[in-house]
Chain A
């Protein structure tokens, strides 16, 4: 279990989900003649003018608004993603300048499949917890892609979540402890010059997602001397709708505990953003004194578990920026042809 020598917490948070959706049934219409089930009802689709950088900017602005912290006082802007618009050129500097930070910051991009944003969060805890920084912004954002017809195409979606880390006394939720558990597990990967990732099928699921999430979560619970029922809410990484519900049940968490943060059924898997966005959606409805457990997961593989406690400050800050519900409410469905055009799946001669 890792704890900072100076207690830390979240001062603000912000989310972003694009306006557009494609229904799972619409994707199935193209590839399976509509036969069989779909892993999520719908997934978010980024508009033509959106990418990891633009979504990070909006989520980051909301996090700053909620915290009431001027951008000029940030010391850190870190963006975790598997879909940075550039292979070489940081997203972090563009996001930082759009937010209006000073140039005297650390800005970097993280990469760890769906856990890239939570890597940034843990590092931000270290920066603030050690006293090296007063305010650190950790962002998870993705415009994930699946090969046309692949199972991933039903779920790989777009969104962002930004968490502003600061000292616990000023936090809307304190981060009490974290655990990180990783191993070289080839369940899912994408080579540097390839457009779509592939599954290492034998390793998908049980030895990857389930093993790592359970290892990190049970270790955190046992070291804190708590059980699943001690938490008001829980969020687990959401590669589809089923996995988070299954892993929650296996570890003794109820449907009611995971419901506020379960977003994948309606927006798909926003990769680096999904668990963090689930945490934000949970903070949207949480009350002071509530306890929240979040366990992220990234292929390749690893899981980070965090224990948080909501403070009184949440209530006055919550409405300073749009809630997740505002983004979920503005859904505009597109068909597969529009989706294919927007996502660069058409070969233009």
Chain B
């Protein structure tokens, strides 16, 4: 993936930072540019708690090239405690032990390796709550 795009999205990828609308209180993730007619000031950076529950999950055995070395791996839709639905990889767990509604927490992990002359990409994943 484009390095500049990853770099721009660091707060979202590294620490699950979203945005909150200063007047309506609406929270969104990932951060987006202002809509047409909105000023930049209307949305502020908003750190999400990083906790939620599994809404749905699936095992990936045939992956996109960037993730081939990691197969098989698990993906999920996670309903964050702030109400948002986020898609992410799951880590540190086995498919057989997962359940819909299970509590999960965000961890920052190595997402992909773009090769010996490329950057390492770090991003959020979710795992079953440690304790």
Selected contact of B131 from candidates A50, A85, A99, A322, CB within 8 Å: A322
User: What CA separation (Å) do A329 and B107 show in the bound complex?
Assistant: 18
**CB<8 Å pairs between A and B, sample of 8:** A49-B89, A50-B109, A54-B109, A54-B110, A54-B122, A57-B108, A85-B110, A326-B131
Does A51 count as interface, using CB distance less than 8 angstroms? yes
Top 9 closest pairs, chain A to chain B, by CB: A49-B109, A98-B14, A326-B131, A49-B110, A57-B108, A19-B92, A98-B108, A322-B130, A54-B109
User: What CA separation (Å) do A89 and B92 show in the bound complex?
Assistant: 27
Q: Kindly name the residue among B15, B17, B70 whose own CB sees the greatest number of chain A CB atoms within 10 A.
A: B15
Taking beta carbons and an 8 Å cutoff, which residues of B are in contact with A? 10-11, 14-15, 17, 47, 69-70, 89, 91-92, 107-111, 120, 122, 125, 130-131
Q: Given A49-B109, A58-B107, A58-B108: A326 and B125 within 8 A (CB)?
A: no
Known: A51-B110, A97-B10; 16 extra A-B contacts, CB below 8 A, are: A19-B92, A49-B70, A49-B110, A49-B125, A50-B109, A53-B110, A54-B107, A54-B109, A54-B110, A94-B14, A97-B15, A98-B108, A100-B11, A322-B130, A327-B130, A330-B92
A48, B70: Cβ atoms under 8 Å? Answer: yes
B92 surroundings in chain A (CB, below 8 A): 19, 47, 330
User: What CA separation (Å) do A58 and B110 show in the bound complex?
Assistant: 13
User: What CA separation (Å) do A54 and B121 show in the bound complex?
Assistant: 11
User: What CA separation (Å) do A50 and B107 show in the bound complex?
Assistant: 10
A99 surroundings in chain B (CB, below 8 A): 15
B120, A86: Cβ atoms under 8 Å? Answer: yes
Taking beta carbons and an 8 Å cutoff, which residues of A are in contact with B? 19, 47-51, 53-54, 57-58, 85-86, 94, 97-100, 322-323, 326-327, 330
User: What CA separation (Å) do A49 and B69 show in the bound complex?
Assistant: 11
B122, A53: Cβ atoms under 8 Å? Answer: yes
B70 surroundings in chain A (CB, below 8 A): 48-49
A57 surroundings in chain B (CB, below 8 A): 107-108
User: What CA separation (Å) do A316 and B120 show in the bound complex?
Assistant: 38
Minimal Cβ-Cβ distance residue in A for B47: A100
B11 surroundings in chain A (CB, below 8 A): 97, 100
A48 surroundings in chain B (CB, below 8 A): 69-70, 110
A54, B130: Cβ atoms under 8 Å? Answer: no
User: What CA separation (Å) do A69 and B107 show in the bound complex?
Assistant: 19
